[in-house]
Every structure is written in structure tokens, then in C-alpha cells.
Amino acid sequence: MLFTQFFATVTILMLGVVYGTDVFFAVVGRSALAHVSEASLTEVMGRLHEVADRRMPFFGVLAIIGTIGLVAIVPGPYSILALGAQLTHLGIYFLVSKPVNVILTAAANQGESLTDAPQLQRRWDSVIVPRALLLGLALMCIALIRLHA
């Protein structure tokens, strides 16, 4: 039981970082970025993605490892649903978000202003709410495991 509590707590903390970031962009970033110039959007989001794509995997990977640990220790619907939600989030990230990140980061590094930056950002924004909801579901599942451990 103590081992389950530990795994669940660490997983919640790591997952919470990624969830909080996605919720921030779903609630605040998306609306704020809709009102900036192409040059500002390219520079700011390119730089944010440059840093986030280096630092955020640490939290996401530890959350997935923790969830896999919980699936092994406490197999059941909550742990499997939590893992599935995280893997779906990751799939959406790699299919939709990451390609946009790469384009904006490259443009920012080259000092370019992309005329299609708003379209790219809208594509990225189109999946941020589902991504946040998936991580919220995963967090709730892990919290239930921790509560019942």
C-alpha cells in the first residue's frame, strides 16, 4: 500500500506539471495569442516550444513510467484508463502539436516571421483542450487509485 501511495503521488506531481501547462494554454494562451502579430507569434511561441520541448518530456516521461508502475502494482480500470489517456495525449502531441512546434522553433531560430503563424497556432490550439481533458482524466484516475490504496 505504501508503494502504491508513493507511485501515485509522484505520478500526480509529474502529470500535474504537464496538465497545468496544457490548461494554462487552453484557458489563457490561446486567447492571448489570437491578438498578437505574426512576428510576435512566431518569436514567442517558437522560443516557448524550443524550451518546452527540451524540458517538459522529463515530467511526461516520469508520469508515464509512474502510471506503468501503477498498472503493474494495481491493475484495473483506473490505472489502465490513466495510461490510455496519457498515451492518447502523447499521440496527439506527436501528430499535431510537435510538427507545429518544430516549424515555429526553426523560424524563431532563423529570425523569420511566418505569415502562416496564425494558422499554425490555430492548428496547435485545436488540440489543446482535448489534451488537457485527457490529462485531467488521467489525474483523476491516479487520484482515485491513491485514495483507495
122-138 tens-digit pLDDT: 999 999 999 999 999 99
Three-state secondary structure call for residue 86: helix
pTM: 0.94
Query: How many other C-beta atoms lie within 10 A of the C-beta of residue 132?
Result: 21
Domain that holds residue 56: 2-148
Question: 76: left (phi > 0), else alpha (psi -120 to 50), else beta?
Answer: left
17-40 tens-digit pLDDT: 999 999 999 999 999 999 999 999
Cα angle 18-22-148, degrees, rounded to a multiple of 5: 55
Total domains present in the chain: 1
State the angle between helix axes of 77-92 and 38-73 in degrees (0 to 180), rounded to the nearest 10: 150
